[in-house]
Amino acid sequence: MSYFVEVLKKYAVFSGRARRKEYWMYTLFVVIIYAVLLGIGIAIKTPAIAIVFYVAILLPSLAVGVRRLHDTGRSGWWLLFGIVPLAGPITLLVFTCSDSQPGANQYGPNPKEIDGVPAHA
């Protein structure tokens, strides 16, 4: 849950880098919360609850996606490639599953490293 909260704290921060774990844990919590809200919305015949949640987390989701692409050494503009049918989402899935670019890159220091020493957690 801390990864979800950390991403929300960086609500509209598009600079820097996001580790794979941060991105995928955030995505997992978003999917779980969305599914629960959608289920509740269907049960009470008001699916707008899930839509309001989706709109509320749209900006932080874009921001963490851009930071994840930065971590792999790619520009955040690659996120727009997701609108290309079939090839776009598959390409973005591969990019977001890729390991971090070692060392610092043009988007900042590697979040896996602490003072140049690789983290083991």
Residue type, 73: G
pTM of the model: 0.88
Ordered by start, the domain boundaries in the chain are 2-118
C-alpha 86/C-alpha 80 separation (Å) is: 13
pLDDT tens, residue by residue, 80-104: 999 999 999 999 999 999 999 988 9
Tell me: pLDDT of 76 over 90: yes
Q: What is the pLDDT of residue 1?
A: 82
Tell me: pLDDT of 117 over 80: no
Q: What is the 3-state secondary structure (H, E, C) of the chain?
A: CHHHHHHHHCCCCCCCCCCHHHHHHHHHHHHHHHHHHHHHHHHCCCCHHHHHHHHHCHHHHHHHHHHHHHHCCCCHHHHHHHHCCCHHHHHHHHHHHCCCCCCCECCECCCCEECCEECCC
Q: What is the pLDDT of residue 2?
A: 87
C-alpha 88/C-alpha 82 separation (Å) is: 4
- Whole-angstrom distance between the N-terminal and C-terminal Cα of the chain? 17
pLDDT tens, residue by residue, 26-57: 999 999 999 999 999 999 998 899 999 999 99
